[in-house]
Structure 1
Amino acid sequence: MFHLIGQIIEMALENKLKDTKKLYESFSLVGSLTLALSLPWIIFRVFKALYLQKGFNELFGKVVVITGASSGIGEALAHGFYKQGCQVVLCARRRQELERVRSDLLHSHRTVQTHPPVIIPLDLADINTLKDQVTKIMSITGKIDILVNNGGVSHRGTVLSTSYEVDMNIMMVNYFGSVALTKAVLPDMIKRKQGHIIFVSSIQGLVSLPERSAYSASKHALQAFSDSLRAEVTSSNIFVTVASPGYVKTNLSLNALTGSGSTYGKMDHTTETGYSSKFVAMQIIKAVAMKKNEVVISTLLPKMAIYLRKYLPTVYFYIMAQRAKKSMKN
């Protein structure tokens, strides 16, 4: 009897061992599949991190000219590039604010070994003076490695209520100013066979919104100009990056022009809840380090709008029409 019980126990143990073995083999198979699927992703992430670090290392000692450097994304870019060991040239209309940014850079990053920031007040709307300003910068720094076209002005108003003077003003600052500055910088970059030009555009340079016609038009123009420029200067080892942020918490809406040309003076809810300037600036600097052609910095909804405009335009047009109707009722 005891012998029979022993056989039963032995059979039960054997069955348990077989089940355990099968379970282990199934886990082993799942683990192998998981490893096979995740290994390429891990390798990609490692190589991406190494490439990014290489790009950061190459930024050290570069001369970076930043327009609109007195606040917002431009100010954050100045901090970001300065921390990478770049010599930053701060450009904007307000000298006093540029002095403040320069002081902040020197006091916030005392351990950074680089040249002191340079201040060059300029007005992007005064395009006839920009070439002389570039000459002045070159006399101080000797070269310009990276040009960041960040300065600009926004717009709030319907097409009908916006005077053509406002259209021209916004186009002059956002488009023609950046174009003129780029053309002044290009000859030396082409001569040295190196350089990087960045245009800080907007999601609205890819998809247009109601009551933003002047702003969207200027950013669409920058997008087209950048694409043509990139193709032409590739053989000269010059890179062109277009950064298209979504909503960013800056003073852009406060300083936006209305249809009559007055200052909007309000912080939109979408702007108030947008990305921080520091976050956007870091994404742009990463794009520069990795020599990306384009980078879209936004939440899912704006990215969906870009997708709809490209692949389902009828749906996009309907949504924008409804948005315009709702805005007009308010």
Structure 2
Amino acid sequence: MGVTAVLMLPLLLLGISGLLFIYQEVSRLWSKSAVQNKVVVITDAISGLGKECARVFHTGGARLVLCGKNWERLEILYDALISVADPSKTFTPKLVLLDLSDISCVQDVAKEVLDCYGCVDILINNASMKIKGPAHKISLELDKKIMDANYFGPITLTKALLPDMISRRTGQIVLVNNIQGKLGIPFRTAYAASKHAALGFFDCLRAEVEEYDVVVSTVSPTFIRSYHIDPGQGNWEASIWKFFFRKLTYGVHPVDVAEEVMRTVRRKKQEVFMANPIPKAAMYIRTFFPEFFFAVVACGVKEKLNVPEEG
């Protein structure tokens, strides 16, 4: 009996490994078929996440429309995609110069895309502008610029493309948001406000367009970190606040977010929250124990104001 069990264990592990491999291959092929020949618009395609989304969807056979506010960087991305893709299975991406903080040009860009392809199947609202600092030191002009880039820009583009999706009774709109659309963090008032506004808009829109078979999805990571930089240890563990804040701001890699965006499109998920357990716990604490949450955050602000930063 013991010898049989020993012999069966490797076979069992081999069988499980085989099943996992088959599942991964089927998921990969399914992902490709979900976007193949689809017209996919990606805003801020020259950002870290934008590049990864472009790579994933281009490999899947989508007809990409890559938007960005720097033409040279768009061309570099274009060359990178073309150089590694199989031309028999992919389409040549279309490049569009677009700065979402300039609301006046968004309608023209939407018209250009619709005139070119006739429709848009998937819109990925990825563009975002960040600002950090005390609220009283950030000008109202900068507050408005943040709202234009993070709120008015995405909803203007969405509104311009939405009638076509409604008339065709198909389409998907993906908002790449942030944990600060749900949870405000000190010294990021304008950014958090814009993310709250965007999330509120798309949550409402989801219910409005469901009857037209248009899917609205939101993907909210904690923070999207750069390719090669991980949060350092430093002296974060010196206090509860610093430990909490480090866990809260521990970013997600752009590759992981891009793959999650693809899964969201494939499975037509409505909401995805990408975070480790600490930010998830913070969400529940904010909801059910707000006074404790505010006390912890206020403690962190006092430390920030009273203790000189390293370096």
Give secondary structure in 2 for the equivalent of 1:250. Answer: coil
- Given the alignment of the two structures, is residue 301 of structure 1 paired with residue 278 of structure 2, yes or no? yes
**Contact kept? 2:247, 2:278, Cα under 8 Å:** no
Give secondary structure in 2 for the equivalent of 1:156. Answer: coil
The normalised TM-score by structure 2 is 0.81
What is the distance in 1 between the residues matched to 2:24 and 2:80? 32
The alignment's C-alpha RMSD in Å is 3.0
Q: 1:226 aligns with which of 202, 207, 214?
A: 202
Choose 1 or 2 for highest CA Rg. Answer: 1
Unaligned residue ranges in structure 2 (runs of 5+): 2-21, 228-245
The C-alpha deviation readout for 1:163-215, integer Å capped at 9, x for no partner, is: 11111110011000001000000011111110000111101111010001100
Query: Residues 298 and 78 of structure 1: is their aligned pair in 2 closer, same or farther, counting only changes over 3 Å?
Result: same
Q: Which amino acid aligns with 1:162?
A: I
- Given the alignment of the two structures, is residue 166 of structure 1 paired with residue 142 of structure 2, yes or no? yes
**Contact kept? 1:131, 1:180, Cα under 8 Å:** yes
What is the distance in 2 between the residues matched to 1:204 and 1:179? 18
Q: 1:316 aligns with which of 276, 289, 293?
A: 293
Q: How does 1:59-208 map to 2 (within 5 A)?
A: 59-110=35-86, 113-208=89-184
Give secondary structure in 2 for the equivalent of 1:157. Answer: coil
The C-alpha deviation readout for 1:106-127, integer Å capped at 9, x for no partner, is: 1122366122010000111121
What is the distance in 2 between the residues matched to 1:240 and 1:286? 14
The C-alpha deviation readout for 1:79-122, integer Å capped at 9, x for no partner, is: 11111111111101101101111111111223661220100001
**Contact kept? 1:85, 1:113, Cα under 8 Å:** yes
The normalised TM-score by structure 1 is 0.77
What is the distance in 2 between the residues matched to 1:54 and 1:307? 34
Give secondary structure in 2 for the equivalent of 1:319. Answer: helix
Identity of aligned residues (%): 35
What is the distance in 2 between the residues matched to 1:292 and 1:143? 22
Deviation at 1:224, TM superposition (A): 0.4
Q: Which amino acid aligns with 1:136?
A: E
Q: Which amino acid aligns with 2:252?
A: Y
**Contact kept? 2:248, 2:278, Cα under 8 Å:** no
What is the distance in 2 between the residues matched to 1:144 and 1:271? 35
What is the aligned partner in structure 2 of residue 328 from structure 1? 305
**Contact kept? 1:247, 1:270, Cα under 8 Å:** no
**Contact kept? 1:284, 1:295, Cα under 8 Å:** no
Q: Which amino acid aligns with 2:209?
A: V
Unaligned residue ranges in structure 1 (runs of 5+): 1-19, 21-45, 252-268
Q: Which amino acid aligns with 1:109?
A: A
Deviation at 1:52, TM superposition (A): 8.1
**Contact kept? 2:41, 2:66, Cα under 8 Å:** yes
The C-alpha deviation readout for 1:269-314, integer Å capped at 9, x for no partner, is: 8899632211111111111111111111122221111121122212
- Given the alignment of the two structures, is residue 290 of structure 1 paired with residue 267 of structure 2, yes or no? yes
Deviation at 1:53, TM superposition (A): 5.6
What is the aligned partner in structure 1 of residue 255 from structure 2? 278
Deviation at 1:159, TM superposition (A): 1.1
Q: Larger deviation: 239-248 or 269-278?
A: 269-278
